[in-house]
Structure 1
Amino acid sequence: MADIDTSRDQPTGAGRPAGRPNLTSGAIAPALLMFALPTLGSNILHSLNGSINAIWVGRYLGEGALAATSNANLIMFLMYAAVFGFGMAATILVGQSIGRGQVDGARRALGTAIGLLVGGAFVIAAIGWIFAPQLLRLLATPPAVQDLALVYLRVIFLAMPAAFLTVLLMMGLRGTGDSLTPLWFMALSTVLDSGLNPILIAGAGPIPAMGIAGSATATLIANLVGMGALLVTIYVRDLPIRLRGAEWRYLIPDPTLLRTILAKGAPLGLQMIVVSVSGLVSIGLVNRLGLVTTAAYGVALQLWTYIQMPALAVGAAVSAMAAQNIGAGRWDRIGSITRAGILINLCLTGGMVVVTTLVDRAVLGLFLANGSPAIAVAAHIHLIVGWSFVMFGITMVLFSTVRANGSVIAPLLILAVTLIPVRLGFAYGMMPRWGADAIWWSFPIGSAVSLVLAIGHYLRGSWRRGAMLVPAEASESALASGEVAGRDCPTR
């Protein structure tokens, strides 16, 4: 599709935060790669943290405890859908504001998101603590591990408010074009969490052995320390998202901004919920196949997190760069950003698939005792599913581009169709014939359908007519025309 040139409307860049990279001019592919690499590093550290913790749990407490954490972590993924959706909507607003040189608008958008979500995190944590047993039963958690999963899940719920705020701050920084600062604090949290896990699980000196609760407590401590350190750094370095003086009122959600964040964030959050529901139903099917298969699937999920990392990192970079260019009126660069993102994703994700397939048994053996029958099952699962993440990566880039201009309904519908009637329908329909393999083959089939539909939506181009609200003008309700500031938006 030919790109629409509205460069005559682009701002001069006045007001761009000092030291922030300029994503609206210059070579696209190198800038996109340099922005994506720190995000990839952050994602790898996050996954490495979970993997190391799984190693400690599996080695110290056995396969039952590992299956318990897998079930509990899927529930937490569902809880994080809200912070992702509304945080992503705020991040798009931040990026578009930075593209226009409107730093105050970026602060308004992020302040509204924090005011909305951090208070909500305390409510979710309280409700989650109370209803954790019911959640685990709905998940069909094996009775042998329900008590372990309950202990772990309840402590993890306590860590949620700090985790929510940290995620929002990191997303906000990436929206301004800073993907390096979040990397350092992800590293800090990873070191603390993975280092404290064996100490709190097994005990050391005066510290008593806490078992599986020790693993969750290590996560709680790491989240609190990481959040505090990140806040201190934001203010010491006077980073663009900091609030001072009268700006603290931005934490009281602006009604107009709040409507925009809710309208755009709800579908984004629902996308995560759809993914979560699909995952919960899948693990419910897996749980019925026995403890060995459940443990194998949990370990395969650990491996897949690494394969997904390039796609997620490049998608975040594409979204931030596209949002800033849309804010600056540089529609002439959007197609090139998308193509560069697809090419980088093919190289990085394809490379991860090849490497993890070649060494899958060695890596899988880190999580389980030598000779565990779950290793062979996990290797078989990965052989079927692993290559589908190449298609997933391309889909992520296309979705990230259209979301940068506020198109969130079509990606939601595409995911809902491909994950529920396609993927789960295939799994249920073919299990009588293929057994467990029907579950594993449903992944690449769903990914293929999702990719075809995503390409169709991108090429159709209707997403270019949408627009996000300008945060700097939210208090004046400057949304009368339905276009961003009434200009800079293609009419096509």
Structure 2
Amino acid sequence: MRPPAAAGRRDLTTGAIGPTLIAFALPTLGSNVLQSLNSSINAIWVGRFLGEGALAATSNAAIIMFLMFGAVFGFGMAATILVGQAMGRHDVEAARRAFGSAVALVVGASAVIGALGWVFAADILRALATPGDAMPLALAYLRVIFLGLPASMLLVLLMAAMRGTGDSVTPLWFMGLSVAIDGGLNPLLIEGIGPFPRMGIAGSATATLIANHVAAVALLGFMYLRDMPLRLRGAEWRYLVPERSLTRTIVAKGLPIGAQLLVMSTAGLTMMGLVNRLGVETAAAYGVSQQLWTYIQMPALAIGAGVSAMAAQNIGAGRWDRVDRITGSGLLLNVGVTGAVVVAILLFDRPVMTLFLATASPALGIARHIQLLSSWNFVLFGMAMVLFSTVRANGAVLAPLAILVVAMYPVRLGFALAMRPVLGPDALWLSFPLGSGASLTMAALYYRHGGWRRDTMLAAGPGVRHGHEARGHLPAGEEPAGMIHPTG
């Protein structure tokens, strides 16, 4: 699979906002779809060749890896914001400095977590009460996945940083490369087809490990071949030694971003526990609904990524006149695209659900009822994500975390628990739009009245506008363009 001849990087501080946002978000959406399809295809291989016990093992491992991913993912997102702001100001050196510190921090942290995870994998699985039959399979799978964690996180960081420079096309090509290798090697390594060893469930994890290493090395090579902005040469290699101020900024901003993933995942696990109490049929119906929700929320996540990249570059360039218009375009695009996907799912949910459930299954009717009550919440969820993406682009990360905590726990789970005696299972399904509505309301209030515009992750340079004020020169003692400051 060959990347396109021309790089996909674009200046996000000029031109029509709507078309630019769509052009940026579509490749990101493609990357998300490929990643989800890869997980589904791998699950098919594992289930077909190794059975239900192996599928249960990969599910247990997936929960752990999501938590580990969240621990370092925020660092990469914080670095992406720094890169985007620096590129908006055409300060490539500052972008490289932020990128170099992020690479050292993310790869170092993931190496430590991977090593500890490999050693304590059995204890972690026992703490999760992994079923005895699945335990040896889950252990073999998880240990290989932990070994590949540094390469996996490096690949994620490289792709996110490239989006920060305005290039969402190149990450799509290399995500495609990773998916092709992973999906192709899975059956070969699981069953030992041809010259490949028969590794069982460890073969599935090894396929992922190989795919991520190949894609990460290939993407790095492509960056140097095309002389892309973030490549480091000569004296720039010193940027891989983390600078204290940059490290403080990345950690201070990255930890709350990673915590948002943990909040959402723990709230999801709690909701799953409530659903499991309703019986096997309802749990199966909820599982099918979650499969559909994975794809419903993808446009919102892609649009949010586009808004974040565009807002970061325009904030870095001092183009505050465009930031509100970028946010407005993101909100409208989310309503149109996510709304259309929700309507399509509601109209054609039965044939899609029968891919997972028998046509005579009682769970089918329950799943359709869940979709009717809950699926439209992703329109509200997507709008909140757009607002979060804009304020995070200027380094405001604590408010979105606090809003998510309130929306997920006191509002969503609180309503589900309090109203279950009155509404029955419908209290659970209605809690989703209620939680998303609360999140959107609080996000809108913070966007309108909060102090996020006063925050900064980069010091202003000559002629750069901050907030609504323009400065034509540097005050005494101020540092030159691209100096990066940690903020609270």
Q: TM-score, normalised by structure 1?
A: 0.86
Matched residue SS, 1:25: coil
Amino acid at match of 1:229: A
Give 1:403 shift.
Answer: 0.8
* Structure-2 residue corresponding to 1:162: 151
Q: Tell me, in whole angstroms, the C-alpha distance in 2 between the residues paired with 1:350 and 1:212.
A: 39
Q: 1:39 aligns with which of 28, 31, 41?
A: 28
* Structure-1 residue corresponding to 2:400: 411
Contact 1:174–1:320 (CA under 8 A) maintained in structure 2: yes
Give 1:89 shift.
Answer: 1.0
CA shift digits 1:128-165 (9 cap, x unpaired): 22333443444455555444433333322222111100
- Please list, as runs of the form range in 1=range in 2, the aligned pairs for 1:106-185 lying within 5 A after superposition: 106-141=95-130, 145-185=134-174
* Structure-2 residue corresponding to 1:76: 65
Contact 1:24–1:321 (CA under 8 A) maintained in structure 2: yes
Q: Tell me, in whole angstroms, the C-alpha distance in 1 between the residues paired with 2:190 and 2:369.
A: 31
Matched residue SS, 1:194: helix
Identity of aligned residues (%): 64
How many residues of Structure 1 are paired with residues of Structure 2 in the alignment?
A: 466
Q: List gaps (5 residues or longer) in structure 1.
A: 1-17, 488-492
Give 1:465 shift.
Answer: 1.0
Amino acid at match of 1:457: Y
Contact 2:8–2:167 (CA under 8 A) maintained in structure 1: no
Tell me: CA distance 1:168–1:479, structure 2 relative to 1, closer, same or farther (3 Å). Answer: farther
Q: Tell me, in whole angstroms, the C-alpha distance in 2 between the residues paired with 1:199 and 1:351.
A: 39
* Structure-2 residue corresponding to 1:93: 82
Q: Tell me, in whole angstroms, the C-alpha distance in 1 between the residues paired with 2:52 and 2:363.
A: 9
Tell me: CA distance 1:63–1:422, structure 2 relative to 1, closer, same or farther (3 Å). Answer: farther
* Structure-2 residue corresponding to 1:427: 416
Tell me: CA distance 1:59–1:440, structure 2 relative to 1, closer, same or farther (3 Å). Answer: farther
Give 1:253 shift.
Answer: 0.6
Contact 2:82–2:98 (CA under 8 A) maintained in structure 1: yes
Give 1:209 shift.
Answer: 4.6
Q: Tell me, in whole angstroms, the C-alpha distance in 2 between the residues paired with 1:376 and 1:71.
A: 28
* Structure-2 residue corresponding to 1:265: 254
1:242 equivalenced with 2:231 (yes/no): yes
* Structure-1 residue corresponding to 2:175: 186
Tell me: CA distance 1:471–1:162, structure 2 relative to 1, closer, same or farther (3 Å). Answer: farther
Matched residue SS, 1:126: helix
Amino acid at match of 1:307: I
Q: Tell me, in whole angstroms, the C-alpha distance in 2 between the residues paired with 1:204 and 1:344.
A: 46
- Taking only aligned residues, the RMSD between alpha carbons, in angstroms, comes to 3.1
Give 1:353 shift.
Answer: 1.7
* Structure-2 residue corresponding to 1:358: 347
Q: 1:105 aligns with which of 94, 105, 113?
A: 94
Q: List gaps (5 residues or longer) in structure 2.
A: 1-6, 463-473, 484-488
Q: TM-score, normalised by structure 2?
A: 0.86
Tell me: CA distance 1:283–1:146, structure 2 relative to 1, closer, same or farther (3 Å). Answer: farther
* Structure-1 residue corresponding to 2:458: 469
Contact 2:303–2:334 (CA under 8 A) maintained in structure 1: yes
Tell me: CA distance 1:317–1:422, structure 2 relative to 1, closer, same or farther (3 Å). Answer: same
Q: Tell me, in whole angstroms, the C-alpha distance in 2 between the residues paired with 1:55 and 1:370.
A: 20
Q: Tell me, in whole angstroms, the C-alpha distance in 2 between the residues paired with 1:438 and 1:481.
A: 58
CA shift digits 1:455-485 (9 cap, x unpaired): 1111114211111135999xxxx99999996
Q: 2:45 aligns with which of 45, 48, 56?
A: 56
Give 1:69 shift.
Answer: 2.8
Higher mean C-alpha deviation, range 413-422 or range 169-178: 413-422
Tell me: CA distance 1:268–1:24, structure 2 relative to 1, closer, same or farther (3 Å). Answer: same
* Structure-2 residue corresponding to 1:303: 292
Tell me: CA distance 1:75–1:420, structure 2 relative to 1, closer, same or farther (3 Å). Answer: farther
Q: 1:441 aligns with which of 430, 441, 445?
A: 430
* Structure-1 residue corresponding to 2:212: 223
Tell me: CA distance 1:251–1:451, structure 2 relative to 1, closer, same or farther (3 Å). Answer: same
Give 1:452 shift.
Answer: 1.0
- Please list, as runs of the form range in 1=range in 2, the aligned pairs for 1:272-291 lying within 5 A after superposition: 272-286=261-275
More relative contact order, 1 or 2 (CA 8 Å, 6+ apart): 1
Higher mean C-alpha deviation, range 125-134 or range 430-439: 430-439
